[in-house]
Structure 1
């Protein structure tokens, strides 16, 4: 799916503004496995922009290390499995994190984005103590 490829390219380029523009104004993002201190739902493009504002200061994404896209019986829904690799900015620790995302795309824009990532892996990479 070209939209997924483009979205991942924007993350590698650290172009968060471009990434956010791939979403509909009323898009909904859901993070079912988010840590208790993090939001499980972000509603709207403006809220997404705020949510991602500091992402490049946390993760220096350098490559898409793996990617696989699965089409579903619903033409608007795709499942993407991918791994992003780079450097955690605060710790300078290399990382490779896996994601599974269920995307609903209509009229060329992402309407719903369900991100099944591991908060424990993120916490480990960022060097957060106590876990």
Structure 2
């Protein structure tokens, strides 16, 4: 009987897929009923996406807006629940339209069941985006 990868391994794989701009592959890591939440989302931005289809609709154009180059700082913490990890990370790259530097620090609380993301709370700061880049990305996020 095959075993599912530990949550930390699945998360690392998901970052590789984002760097490769393989959004379809990234979405395949999601459970059909998975939930993606953005607790700090500003008005007009989604705060909660329910289901793989909603996650895909939100992420499908991501590489057209943010060209990720690396996740130079990554720390994955185990929790008392073996299915849940807390991730501290930094993503760097460029905003495609403006060419501005993209440098974002994230904290995520991620739960994995049977080798798929089932719940992902993404604590990113939209105020850290350059203002012209934020307007471009906000349009893609709605």
TM-score normalised by L of structure 1? 0.93
Native 8 Å contact 1:104 1:110 kept in 2: yes
Corresponding residue of 1:9 = 16
2:46 aligned partner = 39
Structure-1 separation of matches of 2:108 and 2:58 = 17
Alpha-carbon deviation of 1:107? 0.6
CA contact (8 A) 1:100 1:117 kept: yes
Shift of 1:127: 5.2
Given that 2:126 and 2:134 are in contact with CA atoms closer than 8 Å, whether structure 1 keeps it comes out as: no
Shift of 1:82: 0.8
User: 1: CA distance between counterparts of 2:44 and 2:97?
Assistant: 19
Shift of 1:4: 1.0
2-side partners of 1:99 and 1:125: how far apart? 21
1:87 and 2:94 matched: yes
User: Aligned pair 1:119/2:126, yes or no?
Assistant: yes
Q: How far 1:15 moved relative to its partner?
A: 0.5
Q: Which runs of 5+ in 1 are unaligned?
A: none
Q: What is the rounded CA distance, in whole Å, between the counterparts of 1:9 and 1:125 in structure 2?
A: 27
Q: Which residue of the partner structure matches residue 77 of structure 1?
A: 84
Instruction: Tell me the alpha carbon deviations over residues 4-29 of structure 1, each in whole angstroms, 9 at most, x when there is no partner.
Output: 11011011001100000111000011
CA RMSD of the aligned region, Å?
A: 1.5
TM-superposition CA deviations, 1:86-113 (whole Å, max 9, x none): 1100110122111111001111111000
Count matched residues. 129
CA distance in structure 1 between the aligned counterparts of 2:132 and 2:94, rounded to whole angstroms: 9
- 1:9-65, Cα deviation, whole Å (9 max, x unpaired): 011001100000111000011100001110100000011110112111110001112
